[in-house]
Structure 1
Amino acid sequence: MSAAPPRAVVTALAASLLRHLADVHGPLMLHQSGGCCDGSAPMCFPLGEFVVGDRDVLLGVFDLSLGVGEVGVSQPQDDDAVPLWISGPQFDAWKHTQLVLDVVPGRGAGFSLEAPEGVRLLSRGRVFDAAELATLEGEVPVLGGDWERGVRPAPAALPRVVAEAADACPTPGPRP
């Protein structure tokens, strides 16, 4: 059986933005909001500023030290580690998809750290294929309560950096 795909990937542009925000604000965290403020958008906060619930699900920990296509072999450290969370009920609705964290021009309506930068984070989704879903079957995600007790995902499960959103989430071509 092949390795499970990462539940989240980040575009190079979004990773660059996160590196900049970490330089300005220190360690970061992300939470895929469930509909408040800016709809259902990824929100970026200083690490620990947003209280992660016991049943929130960790989609992965972005390693900002990685380049496009590189795979982490150990846990990212310090400002390079950016955990991405989603609420348990929202995870249940979207567990069949890979979240692709991207950035687009414009200002969102939320409290996310990138708002003053003139850009906003955007989550895109790619549906896992049948083989990928089979590798994810039986997966036990890390929950907020687990994280508080020191549980961390295996390095192989860490998200990766893709050049552009279309590399992870291709859009369909024109209809014939």
Structure 2
Amino acid sequence: MGDTYEEIPRVELTAGAAALLRRLREAHGPLMFHQSGGCCDGSAPMCYPAGEFRTGASDVLLGELAVEGVGEPVEFWMSRTQYEAWAHTRLIVDVVAGRGSGFSLEAPEGVRFLIRSRVIGT
């Protein structure tokens, strides 16, 4: 009999983030996330219409988030350098009140996506 284990998702959503994604999906169509760790919003995850942010060899697909009420999964991409720094963590996408990036779809909503993290195995 082979080894069995429960795979820990690398990225997941809070209920509040999932509710916001449902509203954004209704307004903008299929969605995606990218987290660069860049200068503009630090390590805030940015939400775009699917395919609007071009990913490449410097990016890693961490997961496809299933959101109830959204037909297709929401891909979550991260820059490879950011991924290397956070390789042993599970990311939790949350939403909080406050001004987010003007580039991310939630900006007009008066909220912003935020990453919380937990070391895998805890």
- Normalised by the length of structure 2, the TM-score is 0.90
| Number of residues of Structure 1 aligned to a counterpart in Structure 2 | 119
Matches within 5 A, 1:124-163: 124-129=116-121
Q: Which residue of 2 aligns with 1:90?
A: 82
Q: Measure how far apart 1:79 and its partner are.
A: 4.2
Task: Give 3-state SS (helix, strand or coil) of 1:109's partner.
Answer: coil
Q: Identify unmatched segments of 5+ residues in structure 1.
A: 67-77, 131-176
Amino acid of the residue matched to residue 112 of structure 2?
R
Matches within 5 A, 1:45-124: 45-65=48-68, 79-124=71-116
Amino acid of the residue matched to residue 38 of structure 1?
D
Q: Identify unmatched segments of 5+ residues in structure 2.
A: none
Q: Which residue of 2 aligns with 1:23?
A: 26
Task: Give 3-state SS (helix, strand or coil) of 2:85's partner.
Answer: helix
- Normalised by the length of structure 1, the TM-score is 0.64
Q: Which residue of 1 aligns with 2:47?
A: 44
Aligned-residue identity in percent: 58
- Specify which structure has the bigger relative contact order, considering alpha-carbon pairs within 8 angstroms and separated by 6 or more residues: 1
Taking only aligned residues, the RMSD between alpha carbons, in angstroms, comes to 1.6
Computing the radius of gyration from Cα coordinates, the structure with the larger value is 1
- Residues 81-128 of structure 1: CA distance to partner in whole angstroms, max 9, x if unpaired? 100000111111101000000000011134100000000000011001
Work out the CA distance in 2 between the residues paired with 1:109 and 1:61.
22
Task: Give 3-state SS (helix, strand or coil) of 1:36's partner.
Answer: coil
Runs of 4+ more than 4 Å apart: none
CA contact (8 A) 1:22 1:79 kept: no
Task: Give 3-state SS (helix, strand or coil) of 1:30's partner.
Answer: strand
